[in-house]
């Protein structure tokens, strides 16, 4: 069992590298794979190499970071809520970031990529603090509070955007999750934060294995359930906040990838987390390649590609879940 998982995870890692390298070459300006590798290892300043190093590779790195963050956050929220249909957005993180971008634009604070990023992070953190302070007693309460806050913030954002046309324009570009053009923003910090948070999630995973058995059993197995829940919530906020900051709201990755990962990882949360951290980037890289080649000119925002992929997967997950419940 473990041997099989190690083999599968290694395979997924190889797939990730291949998709990343091949994907970097694909786009309006095609770069052969050999040149991609040479641009990364032996940069000679040719136009091909500049495109690879300054635009495509950073963009691929963003896809890897955002994909891993959303997928791992998805695993955490599904395990925490004991609900296979939960996704990170239910805690109000995405709506908080969206509202902060809107309000920031209205006040002229989010004009630069760095400003946008700062506003998104601040919004995500404040929204989570609000949701947690109201709903900390139980997971169900958290979700209800998150959904309520999302409704309020979305309404406020919409009102602001309808009143202020140029805010609307700015928000329009942000709100469709995309990786295009975002590689120029200062992304080092969010990417580092994601790397640390994913590592913490892997360390927390074994405790979550026990939490999955219910609060009573987990407690008598020696898990401090409240502390583990709090840690998981912090990680979910940080991960989805950072992903939203670098890529805008990308739905479905957090919902979809955990289900794919479950096929390989079974029920073990540590394995689930590891597979999600590899498959999330693969999915987002593939979707980003799709976003660059689906239209003859221009790009489809990556969030639209993931939504197209996500719909069918969601239906599949619901049907499968229904089958289990009926058995």
Partner 1 sequence: MTARLTARELTLRYGDRVVSARLTLDVPDGAFTAIVGPNACGKSTLLRAFVRLLKPADGQVTLDDRDVTAYPTKALARSLGFLPQDPVAPEDIRVRQLVARGRFPHQSLLSTWSAADEDAVTAAMEAAGVEDLADRPVHQLSGGQRQRTWIAVVLAQDTPYLLLDEPTSFLDITHQYQLLELLGGLRDQGRTVIAVLHDINQACRYADHLVAMKEGRIVAEGAAADIVDAVLLKEVFELPCVVVPDPVTGTPMVVPLPGASS
| Binding region for partner 1 (CB under 8 A) | 2, 82, 84, 203, 206-207, 209-210, 212-214, 216-217, 219-224, 262, 266-268, 321, 324, 327
Question: What is the closest distance, in whole angstroms, from the C-beta atom of residue 239 to partner 1 in the complex?
Answer: 20
Closest approach, Cβ 217 to partner 1, in A, equals: 5
Question: What's the CA gap between 300 and 302, in Å, rounded?
Answer: 6
Least distance to partner 1 from the beta carbon of 216, Å?
5
CB of 268 to partner 1, least distance (A): 7
Specify the residue for token string 């290892």: 41
- Of the pair 188, 216, the CB lying nearest partner 1 is at 216
Three-class secondary structure of residue 108 per DSSP: coil
Q: What angle do CA 306, 285, 11 make, to 5 degrees?
A: 115
Collect contacts of 54-61 with beta carbons under 8 A, ≥24 apart.
55/183, 56/23, 56/24, 56/25, 56/27, 56/31, 57/24, 58/183, 58/187, 59/179, 59/180, 59/182, 59/183, 59/288, 60/20, 60/23, 60/24, 60/285, 60/288, 61/183, 61/187, 61/191
Q: Whole-number minimum distance, CB 81 to partner 1, in Å?
A: 12
Q: Which two tokens stand for residue 247?
A: 């890529």
| CB 317 to partner 1: min, Å | 11
Read off the tokens for 224.
Answer: 């401090």
Residue number with CB closer to partner 1 (171 or 271): 271
Q: Pick between residue 208 and residue 245 the one whose CB is nearest to partner 1.
A: 208
Distance CA 303, CA 309 (A): 10
What is the closest distance, in whole angstroms, from the C-beta atom of residue 203 to partner 1 in the complex? 6
Q: Which is nearer to partner 1, 38 or 215 (by Cβ)? A: 215
The residue among 67, 64, 34 whose CA lies nearest residue 48 is 34
Using the minimum distance from each CB to partner 1, give the nearer residue, 216 or 297.
Answer: 216
Phi first, then psi: what are they for 252, rounded to 5°?
A: 80, -30
Cβ closer to partner 1: 52 or 277? 277
Helix pair angle (93-106, 225-247), 10° resolution: 40
From 104, 108, 143, select the one nearest 121 (Cα to Cα): 104
Nearer to partner 1, 189 or 199 (CB): 199
111 or 318: whose CB is closer to partner 1? Answer: 318
Query: b/e for 148-184, b at 16 or more Cβ within 10 A?
Result: ebbeebbeebeebbeeeeebbebbeebbbbbbbebbe
Tell me how far, at minimum, the Cβ of 234 lies from partner 1, in Å: 17
């Amino acid at each position: 069992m473990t041997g099989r998982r190690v083999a599968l995870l290694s395979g997924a890692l190889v797939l990730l590298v291949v998709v990343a390298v091949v994907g970097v070459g694909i786009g309006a300006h095609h770069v052969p794979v050999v040149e991609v590798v040479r641009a990364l290892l032996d940069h000679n300043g040719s136009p091909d190499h500049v495109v690879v190093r300054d635009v495509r590779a950073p963009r691929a790195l963003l896809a890897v970071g955002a994909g891993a963050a959303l997928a791992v956050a998805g695993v955490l929220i599904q395990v925490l809520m004991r609900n296979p249909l939960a996704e990170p957005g239910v805690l109000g993180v995405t709506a908080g970031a969206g509202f902060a971008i809107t309000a920031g634009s209205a006040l002229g604070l989010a004009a630069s990529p760095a400003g946008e990023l700062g506003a998104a992070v601040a919004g995500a953190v404040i929204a989570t603090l609000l949701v947690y302070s109201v709903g900390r007693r139980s997971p169900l309460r958290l979700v209800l509070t998150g959904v309520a806050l999302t409704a309020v913030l979305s309404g406020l954002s919409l009102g602001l955007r309808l009143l202020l046309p140029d805010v609307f324009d700015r928000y329009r570009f942000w709100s469709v999750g995309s990786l295009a053009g975002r590689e120029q923003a200062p992304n080092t910090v969010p990417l580092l934060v994601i790397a640390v948070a994913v590592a913490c999630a892997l360390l927390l995973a074994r405790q979550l294995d026990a939490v999955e058995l219910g609060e009573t059993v987990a407690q008598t197995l020696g898990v401090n359930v409240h502390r583990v829940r709090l840690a998981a919530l912090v990680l979910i906020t940080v991960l989805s906040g950072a992903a939203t900051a670098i890529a805008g709201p990308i739905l479905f990755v957090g919902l979809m990838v955990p289900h794919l990962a479950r096929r390989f990882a079974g029920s073990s949360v540590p394995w689930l987390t590891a597979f999600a951290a590899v498959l999330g980037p693969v999915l987002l890289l593939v979707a980003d390649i799709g976003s660059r080649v689906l239209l003859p000119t221009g790009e489809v925002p990556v969030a639209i590609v993931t939504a197209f992929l996500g719909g069918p997967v969601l239906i599949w997950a619901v049907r499968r879940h229904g089958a289990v419940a009926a058995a």
